[in-house]
């Protein structure tokens, strides 16, 4: 079984080059903050399932992973749009 650190996908580790933009949007954009919080909530749920803390079927874990990927795409798009050229 992978270690918990390997299971988590925090946004700042997914996009380290956008760390400043993440912080800026997190503190100044309510919509981004909601997406950011949901992304991390979904990520925590996935980790808890994969660590066998919370039970879930294959369909549920698949649904959560798809949601995390969708949120990650939305967040990345917002970050790229906000990042100065």
Domain count, the chain: 1
Placement of tokens 């549920």 in the chain = 60
| Chain-centre distance for alpha carbon 79 | 13
Question: Using CA atoms, how far apart are residues 32 and 7, in angstroms rounded to an integer?
Answer: 23
Task: State how far Cα 55 lies from the chain centre.
Answer: 21
The 10s digit of each residue's pLDDT in 26-82 is 999 999 999 999 999 999 999 999 999 999 999 999 999 999 999 999 999 999 998
For CA atoms 8, 81, 28, 17, give the dihedral sign: positive
pTM given for the model: 0.86
* Domain residue limits at 11: 4-82
Rg of the chain in Å (alpha carbons):
14
């Amino acid at each position: 079984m992978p270690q918990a650190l390997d299971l988590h996908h925090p946004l700042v580790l997914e996009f380290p080059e956008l760390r400043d933009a993440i912080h800026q949007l997190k503190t100044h954009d309510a919509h981004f903050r909601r997406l950011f919080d949901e992304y991390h909530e979904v990520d925590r749920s996935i980790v808890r399932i994969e660590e066998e803390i919370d039970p879930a079927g294959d369909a549920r874990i698949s649904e959560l992973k798809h949601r995390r990927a969708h949120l990650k795409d939305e967040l990345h798009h917002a970050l790229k749009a906000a990042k100065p050229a």
